[in-house]
Chains A and B, each alone.
Chain A
Amino acid sequence: MIRGRFGAILAVIAACALLLGACGDDKKEDSGGSKPAGGASTSASGGKKLKVGLVTDVGKVDDKSFNQSAWEGVQRAQKELGADVKFIETTDPKDYAKNIETFANEKYDVIVTVGFGLGEATAAAAKKYPNIKFIGVDQFQAESVTNIAGLIFDEDKAGYLAGALAAQMSKSGTIGQVLGTDVVPPVVKFGKGYEAGAKAVKPEIKVLTWYHPGGLAKGFSDPEEGKKQALQMISQGADVIFGAGGNTGNGALLGCAEKNVLAIGVDTDQYLTLPQAQKVLVSSAMKLITPGVFDIIKGVQENSFKGGNFTGQVGLAPFHDLESQVSQAVKDKLKQIDAGLKDGSIKTNVKV
């Protein structure tokens, strides 16, 4: 009798736990749909006022990362082109399509979707609304569709610059890199570019490389493992480490901060996103999303928009606190490499 009653209590607890788990997956169903915000246009340029909507990946528009960079590009369009701009913050991946739809129904001219994850929803919406132009940040277009521009980046060039910096900053002759999963091609491009860049300036340099073996499920969200690998590399003499793999890479940067070893971040200027690593963060291999997004929007305004892939710029972030530690010779060399990569006289020779 007693067993039966408490069995029931137990069942209720278990059910609650499962419910909580389920809640975790579809939180904020109502507000997740649409929360348009943002400023209205201030100056109209010429006759037609462009309406630009941005849908974030899961997260906030001020995330100091992808979403924010893309939104800043849209804001620049507002300022310089007089566009009418709004954003919707996605809170759950299953709202991607719904959020894009919201802008489409309001007859927006351009819809920016931020991140690899929105690729499918963007492609589907583009088919449904052939008159709307879509900009997909980090969405590689395998086949060109007339109304989607995929903003992609040469990660190998960004990695190459990071490697060239690392090799020149290294005193021990050993540098390391802690990467996300090699299932994702941009990660491999970063990694191979880093090694190529390092070897280009110092052929005898030793590059320690680690990819997270956990695939998409864990590859970018395992900072503890990333930190351990950085510590292992430091113990093997690495004195500059490149962390490129979301939170896994951030873990590596934190490990560097703990052991006072130079670190290089990825994607955005991580000096701004990872304050604990500021004292050792010499730079970050950045994808310049803001100008890329702006340029494509400008193309729409000027009727020069083309579907397919649009390659954005990459570059190194400022040295910030470590400015004085980077010698003028190193800076000059980096400038020269950057110019070479841009005009094509330097090739990374990375094939993925």
Chain B
Amino acid sequence: MLDVIQSMLVVALPAATPLIFGGLSGLFSERSGVVNIAIEGMMLAAAFFGFIVGVRTGNLGLALGGAVVTGMVMASLHAVLSIAFRVDQIISGTVINVLAIGLTGYLDRKLYPSGAPAGQRTLPEIEIPLLSDIPFFGEILFRHGVIVYAAFVAVVVAAVVLYRTRWGLRVRAVGEHPLAAETAGISVYAVRYASVIAGGALAGLGGAYFTLQSIPQFQPLMTNGRGFIALAALIFGKWTPFGVLGAALFFAIAETIPSTLQIQGVHSIALEVAGTTLFDVAIPYQVFGLLPYVLTILVLAGAVGRAVPPAAVGQPYTRKA
């Protein structure tokens, strides 16, 4: 039993990685007052262009840079539309998601009609000496790819930046009460641009997980809705870095449960009391597939309590001349 739980957690950590980066991406954007439903599109585009840079240059460092820059470019588009042009932020985000799907799907077919070139490498997997030998936890925590570790570091960095730096204070001020911040001499536009674009860089790292860490391939739509689950993690985590971390881990573990049950060959639910079988119902494995969604709904509906978004989120700001 313990080894099964261990194997589940071994998989859950990488699975949580794009959710953590995606959640942090949304965190910076939304704490500064800009709704970001474009995390999915940013990650997908970053996964694709990071991969292309890797194929063309053969250098994974440049590929990672390519993914981050792609995230920032997509985020800049969102920033320009929603900050300068005051477009409805939900619409702007939707446009970016659709753009990313179309662009990557089209270019992928155009460039690699018979599949991407084989033989690409992925970022290294690092077993941390000594720590990786700790029984049970060693394998779960300390034998992963570099981007997985980076996600955890990013949570700490995000928390420090947001709560311990002047810039973080400005981000929060602008997201809560932009007019007051402006009165205090803070440029609302500048802070929002910087926050959204920094969020784009984080989404870029989330995208890099797919094609530079997990699999040396690009598949159309390979982010598979993880950007939206990241958004749920942001809300579930109440717009805080460690909240995002906890929520991302929760969703990742929930996502792993169905496959674990299937691998373990669980195909019925039975209840036995004192030697008599009360019921024994066969259940197709697809039903277990519903579990994460049911858990998500239950958690978001009741268990968390009220999640209060930043006060000025979603409201375009017009500078009072």
Contact = CB atoms under 8 A, between A and B. Distances in A.
B50 to A, nearest CB: 14
A131 interface: no
A275 B116 CA distance: 13
Among B11, B87, B121, B122, max chain A CB count under 10 A is at B11
Interface residues of A, number: 53
Query: 10 tightest A-B contacts by CB?
Result: A20-B102, A235-B7, A21-B102, A17-B99, A6-B85, A60-B114, A24-B105, A24-B106, A59-B114, A223-B215
B125 interface: yes
A17 B103 contact: yes
Interface of B: 3-4, 6-8, 10-11, 14-15, 81, 85-87, 91-92, 94-95, 98-99, 101-103, 105-106, 108-110, 113-115, 118-122, 125, 139, 210, 214-217, 219-220, 222, 224, 256, 258-260, 262-265, 285-286, 289
Contact of B105 (A21, A60, A218, A237): A21
Interface in A53-70: 58-60, 62-63
A232 B113 contact: no
A24 B107 CA distance: 8
B11 A228 contact: yes
Contacts of B210: 224
Among A176, A235, A258, max chain B CB count under 10 A is at A235
A186 interface: no
Contact of A235 (B10, B110, B122, B125): B10
Contacts of A62: 114
A339 interface: no
A209 interface: yes
A209 B102 contact: no
Interface in A2-20: 2-3, 6-7, 9-10, 13-14, 16-20
Contacts of A235: 3, 6-7, 10-11, 139
A62 B114 CA distance: 9
B190 to A, nearest CB: 20
Given A17-B95, A232-B260, A91 B113 contact: yes
Contact of A232 (B11, B87, B91): B11
Interface of A: 2-3, 6-7, 9-10, 13-14, 16-24, 27, 58-60, 62-63, 91, 176, 208-211, 213, 218, 221-224, 227-229, 231-233, 235-237, 247, 250-251, 254, 258, 273-276
Given A7-B87, A276-B121, A236 B113 contact: no
A274 B18 CA distance: 26
Contacts of B118: 273-276
B113 A21 contact: no
A223 B219 contact: yes
A228 B145 CA distance: 13
A23 B87 contact: no
Contact of B263 (A23, A24, A208): A208
Contacts of A273: 118
B15 A228 contact: yes
B3 A228 contact: no
Contacts of A228: 11, 14-15, 256, 259
Contacts of A7: 87
Given A213-B258, A232-B260, A258 B125 contact: yes
B98 A209 contact: no
A247 B113 contact: no
A19 B87 CA distance: 21
Contacts of B85: 2-3, 6, 9-10
Contacts of A63: 114-115
B289 A232 contact: no
B95 A14 contact: yes
Contacts of B265: 208-209
A211 B285 contact: yes
A236 B263 contact: yes
Nearest to B285: A213
B110 A276 contact: no
A227 B215 contact: yes
Nearest to B262: A210
A218 B92 CA distance: 28
Given A17-B95, A17-B103, A223-B217, A232 B3 contact: no
Given A21-B101, A276-B118, 8 more contacts: A10-B87, A24-B105, A210-B259, A223-B214, A229-B263, A235-B3, A235-B11, A275-B119
A284 B264 CA distance: 25
18 contacts: A10-B95, A18-B98, A19-B102, A22-B102, A27-B109, A63-B115, A208-B265, A209-B263, A209-B265, A210-B262, A213-B285, A222-B219, A222-B222, A224-B222, A228-B14, A231-B11, A235-B10, A275-B119
